Amino acid sequence: KKVTVSVLYWSPRPSMKINVAYPRNGTVKQFEVSDETIRRGNLFDFRLGQDVDGALFGEQFKGYVFRLKGGSDKQGFPMMQGVLANARVALLLKRGAVNFNTFRGRSGERRRKSVRGCIVAADIAVLNVVVVKVGEAPIEGVTDVTLPRRLGPKRASKIRRLFNLGKDDDVRRYVVRRKVEKDGKKIRFKAPKVQRLVTKKAKAKRVKKLQARREGVKATAAARREFLHTMGKERMAARQRKNARAHRVAAAKK
């Protein structure tokens, strides 16, 4: 007889991944952390929003200070700030909350959704951290490179804040333009449309709208006065007809 022997090969897999973000340079990179490093560093029982030593995630992060911003467990349920639990819980959430998109419900609706608590435990698969303090050696792809922002602000108030503009300055002259190059075509520049921009046309439109509203209120008041006047005349005429009928009946009885 032929005997089939199945052999299982076990390979150590990382039990956690961390997404390290450095907002100053605009960079994000994912790293794998082994199970042995996590057990040695005693990473559990930390909460979201706390600062932790980077050496807990490995020697390459020695001297760094990370701030825990979020994460998810091995089933993909996101961690929620303020839920003081190291396990998954089911909460009544409103629209726009974690794990409940705004477009999925009606106004004022609440749904019971499963979310992961904000305390780190062994079931966490991914952690999102932000660099608060830079350590001794640079992190490849995070602190040693700079990725400039591809797009600039498009809201009028944010453009004014970026360039320190006054109310009299034209915001449209300070829009960040992006260079577009294509093979065989002329180089051109693209700029976003400024949002929430108050122009003379917008002011005139607003004044016209307010004026139309005032005229509507006046027309409604005039129509109401005319209606009440007409109703008063009709009621007076009805009373006169009733009195005249009563007088005729009384005269006929005599």
pLDDT digits (tens, 9 = 90+) for 7-49: 544 444 557 899 999 988 889 999 999 888 887 878 888 999 9
Tell me 54's DSSP state: G
Pairwise CA distance, residues 20 & 32, whole Å? 11
pLDDT(2) > 90 = no
Question: What's the half-sphere exposure (Cβ side, CA atoms, 13 Å) at 197?
Answer: 21
Handedness of CA 50, 53, 58, 63 (dihedral sign): positive
Pairwise CA distance, residues 88 & 124, whole Å? 11
Question: What's the half-sphere exposure (Cβ side, CA atoms, 13 Å) at 182?
Answer: 5
Question: Quick one: average pLDDT of 87-97?
Answer: 92
Q: What band does 167 get if pLDDT is binned at 50, 70 and 90?
A: confident
pLDDT at res. 11:
46
Pairwise CA distance, residues 31 & 212, whole Å? 61
Residue found by looking up tokens 């952390």 in the block: 33
> What's the whole-model pTM score?
0.64
3-state secondary structure of 134: coil
Say which residues have a Cβ less than 8 Å from residue 171's Cβ, sequence separation at least 6.
156, 159, 160, 165, 194, 197
What does the mean pLDDT of the chain come to? 89
The Cβ of residue 194 has, within 10 Å, a number of other Cβ atoms equal to 17
Q: Are 91 and 83 in contact (CB under 8 A)?
A: yes
Strand segments, DSSP code E, in the chain are 16-22, 27-33, 51-53, 65-73, 88-94, 110-116, 124-133, 178-180, 188-190
Q: Which residue has the higher pLDDT, 78 or 39?
A: 78
pLDDT at res. 247:
93
User: CA-CA distances (angstroms) from residue 50 to 11, 35, 81, 136, 244?
Assistant: 33, 21, 11, 21, 91
Tokens of 129: 């951290």
3-state secondary structure of 164: coil
Partners of 188 in the beta sheet? 180
Pairwise CA distance, residues 205 & 213, whole Å? 12
pLDDT(55) > 60 = yes
Pairwise CA distance, residues 129 & 57, whole Å? 11
Q: What is the dihedral of CA 233, 237, 243, 248, to 10 degrees?
A: 170
